[in-house]
Amino acid sequence: MIVVNKYILLLVSIVLFLSCEKAIDYNGDELKNFMVLNAEVYADSLITCHLTRSNTILESNKILPLTNATVLLTVDNGSSEVLTSDSLGFYASTLRASVGSKVRFEVNYPSFKSLNASCILSPKALAVVDAMSVEKVTDPNCLECSYDALVCKIRITDPSVDNYYRLVVFVKSVMYSYYGTKDSIKTWYPQRIKSSDPVLNGNTVVTEMSDNPPNEYCVFNDELFNGQDYVLTFSISEYHNVDFNKDVQFYVQSISKDLYLYYKTLDAQRWYGDSPFSEPVQLHTNVKGGAGIVGGVTTTIITYTK
């Protein structure tokens, strides 16, 4: 009877293993190189982009810049410029984009397929500081862990259309030089944001340690407050010798949907990694003919002075 059970268990295991298989077409493209274009286009700033070459599965992961490509930048289907690059593959222009502008890149380079990508810059987010206080808070990923933190509440007024946002926080602190305080300077340090706010956690309520990818880039959509005011609640703990009496800057960014999806898939790819129990995560791209991301960013800066 024991022998029969072993065979039954083996048979069930084989069936379950086969049921997890997934057929993936292979056409040889994995051994071909293509161009990779990345650009975050900021409103009222000079437009730049970065052009590199992909690596195949047989090559190292070293970044290989492409210089001297023909990169045509067009803003609002009117102003255009052919960009020049430096030795690292960064292409700079003299053009700026404003809110509502459509920005388009067209790239050609010998032996590679041509590519193009575009984005539209969203209107600025309407946001204000609603409240600030130093409190003892609980880590959403460790309900038994607590720490002193600066609890921040930012009120966002959302238009009645689909919108996508990113939150970045900086605190001004003193950086001392190697030689002492004489050469010390005040500078803005980025802060790690922690929150149990559902908006910052994939629109779900955090009740215990989550198996979902963390929102490292603090991107969110307006699914839970479309067309309404919403108070976003989060905290920052001491980081880079932060003093809670220092000035704080909040960057509430309106970002394009493609950039939002890129950051979401980047978090997922890093979280699942090479896990044998999950499918590989493909980074979102809006580049036709290659890979990468071209996204629009419009920033509202709120400075809070203690």
Q: Which two tokens stand for residue 97?
A: 């984009």
Distance CA 55, CA 62 (A): 8
Selected from 2.60.120, 3.10.420, 1.10.10, 2.60.40, the CATH number assigned to the domain covering 126-255+298-304 reads: 2.60.40
Which pTM does this prediction carry? 0.83
At residue 257, the pLDDT reads: 97
At residue 271, the pLDDT reads: 81
Say whether 126-255+298-304 and 30-120 share the same fold.
yes
How confident is the prediction along the chain (306 residues), in pLDDT tens digits per residue? 444 555 555 554 544 444 445 544 544 455 688 999 999 999 999 999 999 999 877 777 888 999 999 999 999 978 999 999 999 999 999 999 999 999 999 999 998 999 999 999 999 999 999 998 888 877 666 667 777 788 999 999 999 999 999 999 998 776 555 555 545 566 777 888 989 899 999 998 876 656 678 899 999 999 999 999 999 999 887 554 556 667 889 999 999 999 999 999 999 888 887 666 667 778 999 999 999 999 999 999 999 887
CA neighbor of 67 nearest in space, from 77, 53, 57 = 53
Class of domain 30-120: mainly beta
Domain boundaries, the chain: 30-120, 126-255+298-304
What is the SS3 assignment for the chain?
CHHHHHHHHHHHHHHHHHHCCCCCCCCCHHHCCCEEEEEEEEECCEEEEEEEECCCCCCCCCCEECCCCEEEEEECCCEEEEEEECCCCEEEEEEEECCCCEEEEEEECCCCCCEEEEEECCCCCEEEEEEEEEEEEEECCEEEEEEEEEEEEEEEECCCCCCEEEEEEEEEEEEEECCEEEEEEEEEEECCEECCCHHHCCCCCCCCCCCCCCCCCCEEECCCCCCCEEEEEEEECCCCCCCCCCCEEEEEEEECHHHHHHHHHHHHHHHHCCCCCCCCCCCCCCCECCEEEEEEEEEEEEEECC
